[in-house]
Structure 1
Amino acid sequence: MTSTAARTAQKTAQIVSEPSCKDAGKAARAAELQAANINPRTGLATDYLNHFNEAIMLLEMIPDMPDCAEDFLGWQPLSYREHFAASNFKARELAISAYESADPAIRAEFDGITSAMTSILTAVGAAMRQARQDKTRATLAGQATGWVKPLVTLAGGIINGNGSEADVDYIMTH
């Protein structure tokens, strides 16, 4: 091999083996998201589910402590953006930015599930305001937790990229 050909081959090997600035930027962004407990594959954070888990916890207390119904009735629905804007989450701006730049299909699936949870909790709250007996409120609370808990699990799966295209995309790019 001539010295020119050898240098060209060496230079080509060097270019192929060095990560590009784009790859380095993606890796830095992924590390930043991971450090903030935001899934770099989906751009979503499980912290948002605490908003729904709080409502579930209050609902679960109603059968044994009927006065907790008033606490549940004080729960207010919040969108992903609203939750993080109002939270003490260290990386709240990053969480909102990552959500906004998340894959639209993943975000739409996630938003559909969280919208369903919000609708259920809001409807149950309205029904509890109409209910006059503790037993009726307890029944409503039990039904609501039975409907919302599996949805929280589904939403968590989306956040973590379980079984989604995010897994495939992540594997194919790493």
Structure 2
Amino acid sequence: MGAGELAAERLEQANINPQTGLATDYLNHFNEVMMLLEMLPAMPDCAEDVLDWEPLDYEGHFENSTFKDKNLAIAAYHAAPNYLREHLEAQVADINNLVGEIQSQLREAADPAAVAAEIADRATHEIKPLISVAGAVIHGHVEPEATQHEGDGAQAEIDALFA
């Protein structure tokens, strides 16, 4: 990806993809809320944790994390190709919107347990595929033209990755 601090070997040591400049550690933020959403049917008291979850952009995640090389992760993100950053940000916006809708549904529910199964199913079928697409972007499994792919949400994004 570059030289000096952004040299491929240095990025690899920090668990940052040397081709894309992106780190999968960012996905931990979304995997955390996914786990909570999927646990809701068995543990409805997780609803409070779901409601407390807040979106974080890439930089915000690393600034607030204990990731050892967080400054390197942020620098590499800024050096990453624009089309990859934009595609990742589009996936993140979709994830954040879906989680926000689910949080609203939980707030409006008289009993979180009554909507827990529906929410868990929605998370599994709508949010999880978007996290997978975001992971593919981080790993460089997307072509620039895939970022302009028109279609039906997460499935279209997945189709674009394998076209």
Q: Give the TM interval when normalised to the shorter protein.
A: 0.7 to 0.9
CA separation of 1:81 and 1:27: change in aligned 2, threshold 3 A: closer
Tell me the CA shift for residue 109 of structure 1.
0.6
1:129 equivalenced with 2:107 (yes/no): yes
**Cα distance in 1 for residues equivalent to 2:41 and 2:30:** 19
Which position in structure 1 is the counterpart of 2:30? Answer: 52
Which position in structure 2 is the counterpart of 1:38? Answer: 16
**Cα distance in 2 for residues equivalent to 1:147 and 1:71:** 20
Amino acid at match of 2:60: E
Residue from 159, 166, 169 that aligns with 2:138? 159
Tell me the CA shift for residue 100 of structure 1.
1.0
Amino acid at match of 2:103: G
- Contact 2:38 2:123 (8 Å CA) reproduced: no
CA separation of 1:130 and 1:34: change in aligned 2, threshold 3 A: same
Which residues of 2 match residues 98-117 of structure 1 at below 5 A?
Answer: 98-117=76-95
- Contact 1:36 1:91 (8 Å CA) reproduced: yes
The DSSP-based 3-state class of the residue aligned with 1:67 is helix
Which position in structure 2 is the counterpart of 1:120? Answer: 98
Residue correspondences, number? 143
Tell me the CA shift for residue 26 of structure 1.
6.8
Tell me the CA shift for residue 146 of structure 1.
1.6
In angstroms, what is the RMSD of aligned CA positions? 1.9
**Cα distance in 2 for residues equivalent to 1:27 and 1:65:** 44
Where does structure 1 differ by over 4 angstroms across 4 or more consecutive aligned residues? Answer: none
Where do 5+ consecutive residues of structure 2 fail to align?
145-163
**Cα distance in 2 for residues equivalent to 1:27 and 1:84:** 17
Residue from 134, 138, 141 that aligns with 2:117? 138
**Cα distance in 2 for residues equivalent to 1:24 and 1:44:** 13
The normalised TM-score by structure 2 is: 0.81
Where do 5+ consecutive residues of structure 1 fail to align?
1-22, 166-174
Tell me the CA shift for residue 25 of structure 1.
2.8
Amino acid at match of 2:74: I
- Contact 1:131 1:137 (8 Å CA) reproduced: no
The sequence identity of aligned pairs, in percent, is 44
**Cα distance in 1 for residues equivalent to 2:3 and 2:40:** 49
Which residues of 2 match residues 12-91 of structure 1 at below 5 A?
Answer: 25=3, 29-91=7-69
**Cα distance in 1 for residues equivalent to 2:14 and 2:104:** 36
